[in-house]
Structure 1
Amino acid sequence: MRRTLMLLGGARHQVPAIEAAKRLGLRTVLCDYLPDNPGQHVADVFYQESTTDREKMLEVACREHIDGIISFGSDAALPSAGYVAESLGLPTNSLASINTLSNKYLFRPYLAEHGFNCPKAVSFSAEKDGSSVLALCSGMRFPVILKPTDSSGSKGVTVIAEPEIAGYDAAIAAAREFSRNGILLCEEYIERGYPHVIGGDIFVTDGRVRFWGLMDAVRDESIGGLVPVGEAFPSGLPTDQAVLLKREVQGLVTSLGLRFGEMNLEVIMGRDGKPYIIELGGRAGGNLIPQQLQDVSGINLTEASVRCAMGDEDVDVDFDPLSGEGAPIATLVPHARESGLFAGLDIDPALDRYVYRSEIFAKEGDHVERLVNGSKSLGILFLRFPDASTMRRLLAKAPQLVNVRVH
C-alpha cells in the first residue's frame, strides 16, 4: 500500500506540495474548510473541515492511517499539524516550538528571555480600549506597531506615530478583525540600518540551517510600505551583517530545538547594527517563495518539505547565498492601489523584458481591493535579470513600472 501524507490547506500556493507528494508516489489526504479550494481537485482524498480544529484533524488522520502530516505555507494550521504528529508519533518539530513561533505573544517574550535581539513589546486582550493600551505602552519609543499575534501577511498591522488614544482605538479595531486568539501585541518600531527588510526562506535538517534563501523584501511605499510586494535575490546585505544575521537565526533554531523543515524568515537590521528576528514562521513562505528559490538554486524545496514530513531528512538542500551561487531573480506582486473592477495589467517594457513567468489570479471584471495585506495580491511576476545592479535599479521603480488598471 502507498504511504499517506495528510496536507492541511488546499489554497493556490499550497497545491505545489500536493503535486510534489503525488510525484513521490504518496497517497494524499487534504483538509480545507473552503468548498472551492483548488487543492481538492489534485489530492486523492478531500475533507471539507477546518484545519484549526485539531481534534477533527486527529480524527481524520486516524481514519486515513496517515504516515506524515504537513501544513505547507499556512501559519493557522501549524499547531494542528504538530498536535496530530505528536499524538501519533509522526515526524514533527515539537508542538511547544510550533506554538512559540505561531503566536507573537509567546515569541516576543521567548526572544527577550533567551537573549535574542528584540524590541520592547507588550501583549494584551483585544477587548481593551485605546486608553488602557496606551498606559500599558508607557515608556515605549514612538512610533510603535500594533498587530494581531496569530496572523500573517501584514493583516491587521498598524503603525502608530503618536501616543494618542484615538490612534490606539483605530489600531485595536483593525487588529481585532484578524485575530483568532483575541490577543494583540504592541511593540516599538525598529528603525532600519539596512534599507530593506530581509525576507525569504531557510531550510533546516538535523537542527542546522542548510539552505539560506535570504532576499530583500520589496515594498510599495505609496501604499504604506508594510505589505511585501516582492522578493529580490540576492540580498544586498553586506557580508559582515549577513554573518551576524545567520548567527542569530541559527541560534534561535538551536534554542527552540527545531529539527527540520522550510521556514519563512523576516529580519530587520537595526540602526544599532543588530539583527532583529521579526518572524520565523514554521512553514514555507507565501507568494510562491519556494518556487522562486528553486529557480535561484535548482533545489526543489517543496519536495524536500514533503520528504521531511514523511520522515526522510536525508535531503540535499545545501545552499548559501554568501557563496555567490544563484541568478538574480525577483518576484513582484501586482496589486491595486484602489478598489474597483480589474481592467488589466500594464508592465513597462523596461521591466517586462525580464519577466519569464507570470501567474495572474484576477480576471477582467473581477472586483479587486486596494492592497492592505497579503491576501489582496492579484498574482505573481517572476523576473530574471542579467545582474544584481539591473535588478535593484528596476525594482526601485517597480511601483511606476507595474500598473493594475481598475475602473
Structure 2
Amino acid sequence: MKKVIVLGGGVDQIGLIKDLQERGYYVILIDYFSNPLAKPYANKHIQESTLDQDKVLEIAVQEKVDNIMTACTDQALLTVAYVAEKLGFHTQFSFSQAKNITNKLCMKQIMVDAGIPTAAYVNVQELEAGIGELRYPLMVKPADCNGSFGVRKVHNEVELKEGFANAIKVSRTHSAIIEEFKEGMEVSVDAFIMDGSVHILMYSLIKKKIFNDSISIIYQTLIPAPLSELAKKNMQQVLEQIADAFHLDNTPLLVQTIVKDDTVNVIEFSARIGGGLKYKTIKEKTGFDILHANVNCILGEKVTMEMNEDPRLYSRTHLYCFPSVFGQIDCPNSLISDGIIDEMSPTKTCGMEVSGATASRDRVGSFLVKAGSVEELDDRIRLVLDSIKVMDVDGKDVLYRDLYRDRFF
C-alpha cells in the first residue's frame, strides 16, 4: 500500500484524507495538536509541527512515504514543497515558487514588478527605516502567518509601532509588511488553473467585524458577490496576471481582493483551496470537485472540469466565542431536518483552548445556509443563531452573540 503524509489536522483536511484513502493510500497525519479533528480519519497521527521542514522530512524518510500534501492551508505549502523537492515527489510547484506564494514580502514585490494592481507598501524589518510616502490608515501584517493572525489596521504612529512589534513577534522570520488600507468591497475569488487557463469558480463577498478599529475577523460570506460584468472581466485579467507572474499551473488559486468602482486590487493570494470548508461549498455551488481535482494535479493525473451551477444564494457563517476551553456546539437536529441549514461543522475539538475573537483561526465552527433571496437567507441565519449554543467544557454558552446582532445583508 502506498503511503502519503498529510499536513494539518483541521476540518478541511478530513476531506483530503478521505479522498486519498479512497485511492488506496495509507495516510499519515502530521499535526502539532494531540487530538486534532482529522485524527480519527487518518491511519496514523504524528504530533509534530507542520512548519518544521526538517522534522517532516525526517518523518517522510523514516516512514518511506510516496508523497506529501496538504489542503486548504497556506504556510504548510512551503513544507510540502521542501520535502517533495528533497525526495523527488511529483508536486505542483517548486520550493522557490512556494516561498513566493507563502511569504507576503516576496509576493508583494513580484506583484508590483508584474504590474498586478495592489496597495502601495514598504518592506521593513526595522520600523526606524520609515514608511516612505505611505498614508494612514495602514495595514500591518506578519510576512508569514495564517488566518489573519497578527494583522492590524493602524491610524497613527503610536498604533503603527504597537502593530509592527506584534507582527514581528508572531512572524517566524521576524518580518512584516506595511501597506496602505484600500477602501471597497472585499471579495474572495476561488479559481482553478488547468493547462494554462484560469477558470474562476466562485466569487464570495467577505463580511468582517472590526474590533477597536484595529482587528478584523471574517464572520460571514455571501455567494455570489454582487459584481458587475466589468468587474468580473477585470478580475479574470488580474488572475491571469498572477498565474503568469508566479508561473502557476494545474493548481487551485485563492485570491483576496478589494473591488471599488469595478477596479480590482489584490490583497494577497495563495495557490490553494480556501479554508472554512470552501471545497464543500464550491462543489455544491458549482458542481466542480476542487479537492479531488487538486489531488489529481498533485499526483499528475488528468482533471476534468464539469460545472453545474446552483442558482441559489449561499452563505457560510463562522462561529466565534469568548476566551474559553471549547466543549461542543449544541445545534438542534430540526435545523438540518427542516432544511434551514445544510451543515453545521465544528472546527475545534473538545478541550482546545480558544483565545476569543482575534483572528480567523479562532473560529470554532461554521454553518452553511442556502436560499432563493437575500431576505430569506438573512431570516434563516438569524433563526440558526437564535437556536444554537457554543458550550465550553463546563457547560456554559460562550458564543460571542454581539458579533451577530445586526442584519447581515
The corresponding residue for 2:398 is 406
State the 1:390 CA deviation.
4.3
Q: Distance in 1 between matches of 2:305 and 2:342?
A: 24
Contact 2:223 2:315 (C-alpha < 8 Å) held by counterparts:
yes
Contact 2:66 2:89 (C-alpha < 8 Å) held by counterparts:
no
Q: Distance in 1 between matches of 2:14 and 2:191?
A: 20
Alignment partner of 2:362 out of 372, 376, 389: 376
Structure 2, unaligned runs of 5 or more: 391-396, 400-409
User: What is the correspondence of 1:101-180 to structure 2 with a 5 Å cutoff?
Assistant: 101-125=101-125, 128-129=126-127, 132=128, 136-162=130-156, 164=157, 166-180=158-172
Query: In the alignment, does 2:242 pair up with 1:247?
Result: no
State the 1:12 CA deviation.
2.7
State the 1:331 CA deviation.
0.3
User: What is the correspondence of 1:4-403 to structure 2 with a 5 Å cutoff?
Assistant: 4-87=3-86, 88-125=88-125, 128-129=126-127, 132=128, 136-162=130-156, 164=157, 166-192=158-184, 196-221=185-210, 226-270=216-260, 273-312=262-301, 314-319=302-307, 325-336=310-321, 338-339=322-323, 354-361=340-347, 368-387=354-373, 390-391=376-377
CA distance 1:69–1:205, change in 2 (3 Å): farther
Q: Distance in 2 between matches of 1:249 and 1:397?
A: 37
Contact 1:219 1:226 (C-alpha < 8 Å) held by counterparts:
yes
Structure 1, unaligned runs of 5 or more: none
What CA deviation, in whole Å up to 9, does each residue of 1:280-326 have, x standing for no partner? 112221111111111212222222222222111x2223559xxx654
State the 1:340 CA deviation.
5.5
CA distance 1:371–1:388, change in 2 (3 Å): same
Q: Which moved more, 1:166-175 or 1:43-52?
A: 43-52
Contact 1:93 1:260 (C-alpha < 8 Å) held by counterparts:
no
Q: Distance in 1 between matches of 2:111 and 2:81?
A: 21
Contact 1:203 1:317 (C-alpha < 8 Å) held by counterparts:
no
Q: Match for 1:216: what amino acid?
A: L
State the 1:388 CA deviation.
5.2
What CA deviation, in whole Å up to 9, does each residue of 1:246-296 have, x standing for no partner? 11112211221112222322111145x431121211222111111111121
Task: Provide the aligned C-alpha RMSD in A.
Answer: 3.3
Contact 2:139 2:154 (C-alpha < 8 Å) held by counterparts:
yes
Report the secondary structure of 1:101's partner residue.
Answer: helix
TM-score, length-scaled by structure 1:
0.84
Q: Distance in 2 between matches of 1:214 and 1:304?
A: 19
State the 1:221 CA deviation.
4.6
TM-score, length-scaled by structure 2:
0.83
What CA deviation, in whole Å up to 9, does each residue of 1:311-348 have, x standing for no partner? 11x2223559xxx6543211000223x5467797799x
State the 1:241 CA deviation.
0.4
How many residue pairs get aligned? The number is 388
State the 1:227 CA deviation.
1.6
Q: Match for 2:244: what amino acid?
A: T
State the 1:398 CA deviation.
10
CA distance 1:49–1:350, change in 2 (3 Å): closer
Contact 1:205 1:259 (C-alpha < 8 Å) held by counterparts:
yes
Q: Distance in 2 between matches of 1:119 and 1:399?
A: 36
What CA deviation, in whole Å up to 9, does each residue of 1:196-215 have, x standing for no partner? 31114222222322352221
Q: Which moved more, 1:82-91 or 1:177-186?
A: 82-91
Instruction: Give the % identical residues.
Output: 20
Q: Distance in 2 between matches of 1:362 and 1:256?
A: 34
State the 1:397 CA deviation.
12
CA distance 1:341–1:10, change in 2 (3 Å): closer
Contact 2:369 2:380 (C-alpha < 8 Å) held by counterparts:
no
Contact 2:193 2:249 (C-alpha < 8 Å) held by counterparts:
yes
Q: Which moved more, 1:219-228 or 1:72-81?
A: 219-228
Q: Distance in 2 between matches of 1:402 and 1:220?
A: 20
Q: Distance in 1 between matches of 2:105 and 2:274?
A: 21
